Each structure stands twice: as structure tokens, then as C-alpha cells.
Amino acid sequence: MSEAKINPNGPLKGRTAIVTGASRGIGEAVAARLAMEGARVVASARTAEDGESRLPGTLTETVARIKKAGGEARFIKADLAQGSERERLIEETVAAYGPVDILVNNAAITYFIPVEDFPEKRFKLMMEVQVYAPFHLSQLVLPSMRERRQGWIVNISSGAAFHPKQPYGPGRGGTVYGMCKAALERFTTGLASEVYGDNIAVNVVSPGLVATPGVAVHGLINEQTKDRVQPIEYIAEAVYRLASGDPKTMTGRIDHAAPFLKEMNLEPSALV
């Protein structure tokens, strides 16, 4: 891996990036990676300070990590299940840093419950955060992107979007999660086709299995799956490359991080 450092004159110099779900895990890593290339990063999530979540990681820590290395970042606490909070996130970002150039839709809330027992309230919350929030945030940033004829939207998906194949084994209750990610991927390719003429790229990165606090709480890494764990730097690198590529040649992609980096002959950078 290349050296972890902030390059204030990097390819993303002067660009404003929003990363949702950035208090920990993949979102935190992506925020750091974009800042390393000169982006002004707005990190957003529901957890700003210690004690606000049972999981480790806060927006305060994410921003401190970037600033300590010499990058430019701030956080905006927001509950993306609420439309007014999504609108405020964009408004406050524009007021602080200017129009949004890069939107990374990473925030998620996930329950693993069989369909028969899935509560309506939790179903609607998952669809709101994982499907409608990326849709709505994209609507909010697209007018400015169209006007300036540049923009990059990267949605974070999952292998759960793949259709289950026989022989079927015992289910873990991941059907609704898979629905959300499949919808997000179809939204991505559809939007990419709509805004192609406006020089706006819309892509998906599907991380695979990554050792994050959220993965740990769901017990997804075990003896059977531990060999599939992927370094978080792979995901951060793939997102950065798709958030800086040529919108005419790198859009409408559904990419798994490791194969994407291999295809592009890229090595992931260490993170600040």
C-alpha cells in the first residue's frame, strides 16, 4: 500500500464530498480516503459523540482523524430516516463548503428477521434509510450537478443483492436487506442512464465482508466466513476511484471492490 498522507493538491482539490454513515466502518474509511486526495469532506451519521450509540465510533472521531492528518472535514449530525434531516444535510453542506460534487450513500440500518416475522415498522425504516434516502439525497444534489455539468454519486451495496441459489440452506432473515440492496443497484444504473448526458457518474461499490462494528454486532464473521474478510482499504479505494473517474467511461457500474481494483491494476492506499 502507498503512504497514508493528505495531499491538499490532490485530484479532489476544491471538491465537496458528503459521506453518510461516516461515524465508523466503511463510511469513516471512505471519508478519510476522499480527504486524502484534497476533498472537503462532510461526514454525516446519527452518532456524533460518545454514548450516542452502542457501537464504537463517532463523527467527532472521524473528523478529528482527518484534521489531525491535515485534511479538511466537518460533520453534520443527521437522521436520514427523516426527510427534513436529509434536506438540512444538503443545505448546511452547501453553506459550509459550496455545491456538492461527490455524494457517497453509505448509511444503513439493518435487521435480520425472517419475512414471516418482520415488523412493518422495521421494514419501512430499512427501506427509508437504505433506498429512499439515497434516492432523495440524489434528487437534492442533482440540480447543482447538472448546472455545473459534473458530479459523482457512489452507492454502497452488498452481495446480499444477489439472488439466492439452490441448494438453499437455513436462512438468516436477510431477505429484506437483499431487497434494499437490489433496489439500490437498480436505482444506480437507472439514474446513471438518465444523467449520462450531464456528465454525472453514478456507480455502486459492493464491499463484500468487512470487519466493521456493524458486521460484528450481527455476527457475520465466523469460522465459516473469516477467509472472505476484505481489508477496508479496498472499499475506500474503490469508492475514491469511482468518485473521481471520467463520467463518460466509468458510470453505471456495479463493482465489487477487489475485482474492480484488479481490473484497474490499482493497489489500495493506506488510510490516514
Tens-place pLDDT, residues 204-243:
999 866 655 555 444 555 545 445 568 999 999 999 999 9
pLDDT, residue 171, reads 75
pLDDT, residue 216, reads 45
Average pLDDT score over the chain: 93
Evaluate whether residue 6 is within a structural domain: no
The beta strand positions in 23-108, using DSSP E, are 40-45, 72-77, 102-105
For residues 185 and 73, what is the distance between their CA atoms, to the nearest angstrom? 28
Evaluate whether residue 237 is within a structural domain: yes
**Spatial CA neighbour of 209 closest among 232, 180, 178, 238:** 232
Tell me the residue range of the domain where 187 lies.
16-263
pLDDT tens digits, 54-69 = 999 999 999 999 999 9
3 state DSSP class of 204: strand
Average pLDDT over residues 24-47: 97
pLDDT, residue 212, reads 58
pLDDT, residue 263, reads 97
For residues 4 and 8, what is the distance between their CA atoms, to the nearest angstrom? 13
Evaluate whether residue 271 is within a structural domain: no
What grid cell was written down for 144? 447543482
Determine whether 97 is an active site residue.
no
pLDDT, residue 207, reads 86
Average pLDDT over residues 133-160: 98
pLDDT, residue 225, reads 47
pLDDT, residue 226, reads 47
Report the domain count for the chain: 1
CB 243 within 8 A of CB 104: yes
- Integer CA distances (angstroms), 237 to 207, 223, 232, in order: 11, 27, 9
Evaluate whether residue 269 is within a structural domain: no
CB 236 within 8 A of CB 33: yes
pLDDT, residue 209, reads 60
Evaluate whether residue 1 is within a structural domain: no
Evaluate whether residue 2 is within a structural domain: no
pLDDT tens digits, 75-123 = 999 999 999 999 999 999 999 999 999 999 999 999 999 999 999 999 9
The terminus-to-terminus CA distance of the chain in angstroms comes to 12
CB 224 within 8 A of CB 172: no
CATH number of the domain that 248 lies in? 3.40.50.720
For residues 116 and 208, what is the distance between their CA atoms, to the nearest angstrom? 27
pLDDT, residue 172, reads 81
Which is catalytic among the residues 111, 132, 168, 177? Answer: 177
Would the pLDDT of 165 be above 60?
A: yes
Percent residues over pLDDT 90 in the chain: 87
Q: Which amino acid belongs to residue 63?
A: V
